[in-house]
Structure 1
Amino acid sequence: MTNTNEAGANPGEAKGYGTKTISIAENFSGISGRFLDVCLDVEEDSGTGKLKLTGFDAFGQECKSSMDDVQEHGTQMGGNMVSGAESTEATDRESMSEFERSAVNVPGNDVPPGHGPWAPTY
């Protein structure tokens, strides 16, 4: 990792990662229910009497709850990433606008607003 004194964010990149995170989390939708169904089927089809396997129902319920939590956390995390990126973008635009207003009054400044080296590229 490179040591740097820079701070900042790339809103476009952050929004992209947030959107991907939400998409991955949404792909988990339904997996927990199907997993529980499989556990119940295994218990049901495992035999009878002393040979019957037990515990799959409790195991399935516990895992379903954990899988549902993972999906929810992933969706929330992705939403927070997108929200943070949008907030960063708004702050950048606000700062650029304030800088442009102050730069307009500098004698010899012939750079039109929104076209200086400080203008964001996203």
Structure 2
Amino acid sequence: MKKTLLWGTLGLAALGSWAFYPRAAAEPGYMIVSLRVTNSERPTLVTISPSGEETKDVLNTKTKPVRSLQAQTLAKLNELRNQGWAVAHVTSNGGYVQNANNPALSPDYFFTDNYLLEKQ
């Protein structure tokens, strides 16, 4: 009886300690989508996944007007929303930078819209 109680207690202690066993880390839940536009390059939509992989999509400006860049970005954000992502934060930045290829030319104008997405 005493041995059975001892083994039963040790078994319960082992099972109870299993609850505190370290689990695998949760998958990171953030992604960045960035619209980058300059007057010297074609507009691109850059997506940085939670694993750090970067994909660049050159946006179509020949058949669509330039103002549709935000519409193309919105289409990408809606696609990601259907996959379970939600926009957590948005920042916009714009300004002028010196043209590295031709410094005598006028400076390049740029703007970026950055969207921080969170996994839901």
Tell me: higher relative CO, structure 1 or 2? Use CA pairs within 8 A at least 6 residues apart. Answer: 1
Is TM-score (shorter-chain normalized) higher than 0.5?
A: no
Bigger strand share: 2
Q: Name the TM-score, length of structure 1 as normaliser.
A: 0.33
